[in-house]
């Protein structure tokens, strides 16, 4: 398995735009709270590291991962956000519930992004067991919350560049 060879949250700081004037939403699932809190911590720390201001980050908590899409829609409707980051954790169990939840969240966030033109970031861990979740929420494989924050910053910058509100070119 390739992911066992490196920390998946490694990135080059120089490739991340400043988030100093961006507004973000974070929607956090309360299910698997120990894991999702670690995802949140990685996310917020990364946003702040890249210049986001605490007062420009709005947080909404939802009961479970299935509710991430609706929570994201509600939060984005309340504020003029540059991007919405959805954080959750679905651990495979004895039934196929994980497949339905994961697919619903992925499809829902994709549809929100397409219909609104706003980045909705998929920060949902989809693991086989709790150990894998811990390894990807601040363990040896990094933190999906960190990755989601970087993605949000880069996508918000891309949207601004495409709309002409910044002078940078799209791409490299």
Return the number of other C-beta atoms located less than 10 Å from residue 28's C-beta.
Answer: 22
pLDDT, tens digit, for every residue of 20-52?
999 999 999 999 999 999 999 999 999 999 999
Q: Among the options 37, 79, 97, 141, which is catalytic?
A: 97
What are residue 58's DSSP bridge partners? Answer: 25
Please report the pLDDT score of residue 164 as a whole number. 80
* Backbone phi and psi for residue 72, each to the nearest 5 degrees, phi listed first: -65, -40
Angle at 144 between CA 124 and CA 158, to 5 degrees: 90
Give pTM, 2 decimals: 0.89
- Furthest CA-CA distance within the chain: 52
Integer Cα distance of 77 and 81 in angstroms: 9
Please report the pLDDT score of residue 125 as a whole number. 96
Return the CATH superfamily for domain 23-161: Lumazine/riboflavin synthase (3.40.50.960)
Please report the pLDDT score of residue 1 as a whole number. 46
Please report the pLDDT score of residue 10 as a whole number. 72
Please report the pLDDT score of residue 120 as a whole number. 98
Integer Cα distance of 92 and 141 in angstroms: 19
pLDDT, tens digit, for every residue of 109-162?
999 999 999 999 999 999 999 999 999 988 889 899 999 999 999 999 999 988
Euclidean distance between the first and the last CA atom of the chain, given in angstroms as a whole number: 30
Is 141 considered catalytic here?
no
Would you say residue 172 has pLDDT above 90? no
Domain ranges, ordered by start, for the chain: 23-161
Would you say residue 171 has pLDDT above 80? no
Q: Of how many residues is the chain composed?
A: 172
């Amino acid at each position: 398995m390739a992911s066992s060879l490196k920390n998946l949250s490694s990135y080059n700081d120089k490739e991340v735009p400043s988030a100093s004037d961006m507004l973000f939403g974070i929607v956090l699932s309360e299910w698997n709270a120990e894991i999702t809190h670690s995802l949140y911590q990685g996310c917020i720390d990364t946003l702040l590291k890249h210049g986001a201001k605490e007062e420009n980050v709005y947080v909404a908590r939802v009961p479970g991962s299935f509710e991430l899409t609706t929570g994201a829609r509600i939060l984005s409707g309340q504020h003029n956000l540059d991007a919405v980051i959805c954080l959750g954790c679905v651990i495979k169990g004895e039934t196929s519930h994980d497949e339905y939840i994961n697919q619903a969240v992925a499809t829902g966030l994709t549809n929100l992004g397409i219909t609104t033109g706003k980045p909705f970031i998929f920060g949902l861990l989809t693991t086989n067991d709790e150990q894998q979740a811990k390894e990807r929420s601040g363990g040896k494989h990094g933190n999906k919350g960190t990755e989601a924050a970087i993605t949000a910053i880069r996508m918000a910058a891309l949207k601004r560049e495409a709309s002409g509100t910044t002078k940078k070119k799209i791409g490299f």
